[in-house]
Structure 1
Amino acid sequence: MSSLKLIRPRGPHAATKDPKQRGLMLLLLVANASMLAVYMGVGAVLLPTQIAAIDPANKVAVLGVVGGVSAVFATAFNPIAGALSDRTGRRNPWIIGGALASLAGLAFLGNVHTALLVGIGWCLVQATMNVYQAAVTAVVPDRIPAARRGTASALVGLALPIGGTVGVLIASQTADQLTMGYLVFGAIVAGAAVLLTTFCRDVPRPAPAPAVPRREQFAAFLSALSHHDFRWAFIGRALMVLGYFSVVGYQLYILDDHIALPAGMNPAAAMAVLTPVSMAAMAVSTVVGGMLSDRLDRRKVFVGVSAALAGLVMAVPVISPTWTGMLVFSALNGLAFGCFMAVDTALVTLVLPRAEDAARDMGVLNIANAGPQIVAPFVASAIVTGLGGYTALFLVGGALSLVGALAILPIRSVR
């Protein structure tokens, strides 16, 4: 066994016994669902629609640049905000501040009409949403006992199917009214932040340590990666996310340029059908996978098998580039990704090196979420334009997910 320490509950808040903490799980579900509604609704529908209207001839390349550059901001701001919230000992100010700043960024994004300004606006939204995300993500290791992490992560994991479905449905209805659509998403995340910070108070945390030199701060910031199990969890998550977003980020264009849709159905309407299919499957696998992983006290097998399935199903639209093929792909991909994210989140919280640095280290792990999204748009754009289109994109995405499944095997301290 590794010498890594499991995160243990600290005080009554960790077990949600305080009256003000009883609604914690539901509030976390709402907070995470609102965040994912923004990422899915804006990132998958409104932003590609806006870019296609501005520059239809170069939409693939422009979306790649905008997506890649904005992901740099996501990658930087998430761990920095997590470390700062650890330093201050509080989460709520970062949650509410990030959400309100995101509302302002989305309002700006809905009122610009050039590719440059769209890129600037989406960078602002990514930065501020990742301030919000870093603080919300740290609530689970802060307040949930280790024995309940799988169930807690499964419930919180429902945020992806719920938030993703709601986000895409709202976006598909407001794709012709971009200003209104962006404002709706800003109001959703701001409202969720107000609810969470009003009804769930901060957990008292130890006083911050004395200031240390910046070089030592940077070394400490990335120190979690020196721990064997955390490092492999990081690699597995990064590969899985890279494979997933290389394809999903271009789904609107895939439906427009690669898939034979039924007569009378446009890509936005197709997204409004495919997303609920994927998210319903994701909801089932999230709950079942998370609860079974708790009951069996096994994490790695669920994470590895679901990552492998996510890689294999990428072949479906290659074999059958039809509406039926996309429906099958969406359902199977939802099953795989939902189980992976639910159980992998539980696994990660169990390999964090120190409870005192939970938000900082979860922020470092979130580089594995945001970092691949820097690479994915550039890689996807290059593959689509230089290697024969979307067939090659599906094959590369599948290969990345399969390698991500293998990266789970070396983890030692979690079964």
Structure 2
Amino acid sequence: MTVPETGTTADRFPAAPGTVGRGLLPLLFLGNAAMFALYMGVGSVLLPLQIEHIDPSSKVTNLGIVAGVAAIFATVCNPVAGALSDHSGRRNPWILGGGLAAIAAMALLGSVHTVLLVAIAWCLGQATMNVYQAALTSVVPDRVPRSRRGAASAAVGLGIPVGSAVGVVVASAFSEHLRIGYLVLGLLVAAAAVLFTAGARDVPPPPQEPSPLGSQVRMFLEVLREHDFRWAFIGRACLVLGYFAVTGYQLYILQDHIHLPAGLKPEHAVAILAPLGAVTMAISTVTGGVLSDKFDRRKVFVAAAAVLAAIALVIPVFSPTWPAMLVFAALNGLAFGCFIAVDTALVTMVLPKAEHAARDLGVLNIANAGPQILAPFVASAVVSLIGYTPLFLIGGALAILGALAVAPIRSVR
């Protein structure tokens, strides 16, 4: 379905066509960088270490359960929070509230000492962070015209490598003081939320007639009937599932599968891989976003990025060594950076209705959170039954499926 000119997200933008409010792109970068610092610092380092300390012999299974259950909360909370911010007509209060609540959630997570309590605390952390994420994600279709979506998406995407690297380095630095590491990451998100809401004004939405709850639920479900939106959903779900099935277990992969040089601890190896991937991801994020704007092409960049991700994921299959992991991190960063930058622009162009942008992006974010539910369970089952090598092969196959899924999209070139 082609998005009609009347009622497009560009119509809500208050400035002159083709312009972006002063400071918005840097603030989008900062807000997303802080968010991914917490996600990656917790998910890649602090949470696996905490679970390993509690029960070393069952770490793979326990991490799968904790991460999977918490992802269920993310899946539910993201579209609900998006719909609530749509209804309120504001994004900033939700960004600020979610950011400040992250401090309390991380403080709780760092203070618990059983697998059950870790699961509960991380669920609360996911809930608060998805309130923050749902509102922040909606800023692009709210305030950025279509002609600048690539640049805005690049700013958003650039926050991923930078934030991920910062989060992993911070978490690794506090690998022996987990409580402090959790609190520092929560404070980063809270600080970013304060700066964003202080520097970026809300854009009042057009007047809307109140609709019954039943009607809202039907609209929420019917968005997946839109042809282009559905294929964008499928493509992202495939790539994210493959990506998180591997990266969610990166610390354990380095502990149990990769032959590391003498004296290099797995948590320190993660802190080396993250900045390397961040550099290549930053390069491809900016390059992919800008070039997709210049050539007015999205699908070819998304497909190429997914294919490159598949190539990267099979490298450790042939060589489970430290040099191979360095190559994997570099190529995977290139692939994922380009994919996120351009795919973010693509999906904002297939939203059915601008006035329900946060709700619809919340549905699309199920393609982010939903695979994260499956990824830990799938990964733990695969690793427990047949080892780490098939995990990389499954990730590569899913990336290829993600590349194929963008082909049927009609309204975006």
Quick check: TM above 0.5?
A: yes
- Tell me how far apart the structure 2 counterparts of residues 396 and 378 of structure 1 sit (CA, whole Å): 13
Mapping 1:358-369, distance limit 5 Å: 358-369=357-368
Go from structure 1 to structure 2 and tell me whether the alpha carbon gap of 1:287 and 1:382 turns closer, same or farther (over 3 Å shift): same
- Tell me how far apart the structure 1 counterparts of residues 170 and 18 of structure 2 sit (CA, whole Å): 33
What is the SS of the residue equivalent to 1:222?
Answer: helix
Mapping 1:183-202, distance limit 5 Å: 183-202=183-202
Q: 1:392 aligns with which of 386, 390, 393?
A: 390
- Tell me how far apart the structure 2 counterparts of residues 149 and 116 of structure 1 sit (CA, whole Å): 42
1:336-363 alpha-carbon deviations (Å, 9 max, x no partner): 0100010000000011111111111111
- Tell me how far apart the structure 1 counterparts of residues 276 and 17 of structure 2 sit (CA, whole Å): 34
- Tell me how far apart the structure 2 counterparts of residues 9 and 335 of structure 1 sit (CA, whole Å): 34
Q: Can you give the 5+ residue segments of structure 2 that lack an aligned partner in the other structure?
A: none
Is residue 2:102 matched to residue 1:102?
yes
RMSD: 1.3
What is the SS of the residue equivalent to 2:261?
Answer: coil
- Tell me how far apart the structure 2 counterparts of residues 13 and 227 of structure 1 sit (CA, whole Å): 30
1:140-171 alpha-carbon deviations (Å, 9 max, x no partner): 00000101101110122100111001000000
> Which residue in the other structure is 1:343 paired with?
342
- Tell me how far apart the structure 2 counterparts of residues 155 and 11 of structure 1 sit (CA, whole Å): 18
What is the SS of the residue equivalent to 2:277?
Answer: helix
> Which residue in the other structure is 2:323 paired with?
324
- Tell me how far apart the structure 2 counterparts of residues 300 and 366 of structure 1 sit (CA, whole Å): 19
Q: 1:411 aligns with which of 398, 409, 412?
A: 409
1:39-81 alpha-carbon deviations (Å, 9 max, x no partner): 0001110000000000100000000000000000000000000
> Which residue in the other structure is 2:260 paired with?
261
Q: State the shift of 1:221 in Å.
A: 1.1
Q: State the shift of 1:4 in Å.
A: 2.9
> Which residue in the other structure is 1:203 paired with?
203
What is the SS of the residue equivalent to 1:4?
Answer: coil
Q: State the shift of 1:14 in Å.
A: 7.5
- Tell me how far apart the structure 2 counterparts of residues 25 and 282 of structure 1 sit (CA, whole Å): 18
- Tell me how far apart the structure 1 counterparts of residues 118 and 129 of structure 2 sit (CA, whole Å): 16
> Which residue in the other structure is 1:378 paired with?
377
- Tell me how far apart the structure 1 counterparts of residues 320 and 246 of structure 2 sit (CA, whole Å): 14
Is residue 2:83 matched to residue 1:83?
yes
- Tell me how far apart the structure 1 counterparts of residues 16 and 45 of structure 2 sit (CA, whole Å): 38
- The residue identity in structure 1 corresponding to 2:322 is W
1:4-29 alpha-carbon deviations (Å, 9 max, x no partner): 335324242486979xx411111111
The answer to whether the Cα contact below 8 Å between 2:261 and 2:322 also exists between their aligned partners in 1 is yes
- The residue identity in structure 2 corresponding to 1:12 is P
Is residue 2:156 matched to residue 1:166?
no
Q: State the shift of 1:207 in Å.
A: 3.2
- Tell me how far apart the structure 2 counterparts of residues 73 and 13 of structure 1 sit (CA, whole Å): 37
1:268-296 alpha-carbon deviations (Å, 9 max, x no partner): 10001111111110000000011000000
- Tell me how far apart the structure 2 counterparts of residues 14 and 197 of structure 1 sit (CA, whole Å): 22
What is the SS of the residue equivalent to 1:331?
Answer: helix
Mapping 1:134-283, distance limit 5 Å: 134-212=134-212, 214-283=213-282
Go from structure 1 to structure 2 and tell me whether the alpha carbon gap of 1:403 and 1:11 turns closer, same or farther (over 3 Å shift): closer
- The residue identity in structure 2 corresponding to 1:139 is V
- Tell me how far apart the structure 1 counterparts of residues 42 and 352 of structure 2 sit (CA, whole Å): 35
Q: 2:400 aligns with which of 399, 402, 406?
A: 402
How many pairs align?
410
- Tell me how far apart the structure 2 counterparts of residues 16 and 52 of structure 1 sit (CA, whole Å): 51
Q: Can you give the 5+ residue segments of structure 1 that lack an aligned partner in the other structure?
A: none
> Which residue in the other structure is 1:126 paired with?
126
Go from structure 1 to structure 2 and tell me whether the alpha carbon gap of 1:14 and 1:209 turns closer, same or farther (over 3 Å shift): farther
Q: State the shift of 1:206 in Å.
A: 2.3
What is the SS of the residue equivalent to 2:411?
Answer: coil
**What TM-score, normalized to structure 2?**
0.97
Question: Quick one: percent identity of the two aligned structures?
Answer: 63
- Tell me how far apart the structure 2 counterparts of residues 56 and 24 of structure 1 sit (CA, whole Å): 45
The answer to whether the Cα contact below 8 Å between 2:94 and 2:132 also exists between their aligned partners in 1 is yes
- The residue identity in structure 2 corresponding to 1:223 is E
- The residue identity in structure 2 corresponding to 1:411 is I
Q: State the shift of 1:317 in Å.
A: 0.2
Go from structure 1 to structure 2 and tell me whether the alpha carbon gap of 1:16 and 1:195 turns closer, same or farther (over 3 Å shift): farther
Higher deviation after alignment, 197-206 or 261-270: 197-206
Is residue 2:302 matched to residue 1:300?
no
- The residue identity in structure 1 corresponding to 2:145 is P
**What TM-score, normalized to structure 1?**
0.97
Mapping 1:11-22, distance limit 5 Å: 11-13=13-15, 21-22=21-22
The answer to whether the Cα contact below 8 Å between 1:68 and 1:378 also exists between their aligned partners in 2 is yes
- Tell me how far apart the structure 2 counterparts of residues 253 and 126 of structure 1 sit (CA, whole Å): 22
Go from structure 1 to structure 2 and tell me whether the alpha carbon gap of 1:351 and 1:390 turns closer, same or farther (over 3 Å shift): same
> Which residue in the other structure is 2:56 paired with?
56
- The residue identity in structure 1 corresponding to 2:187 is A
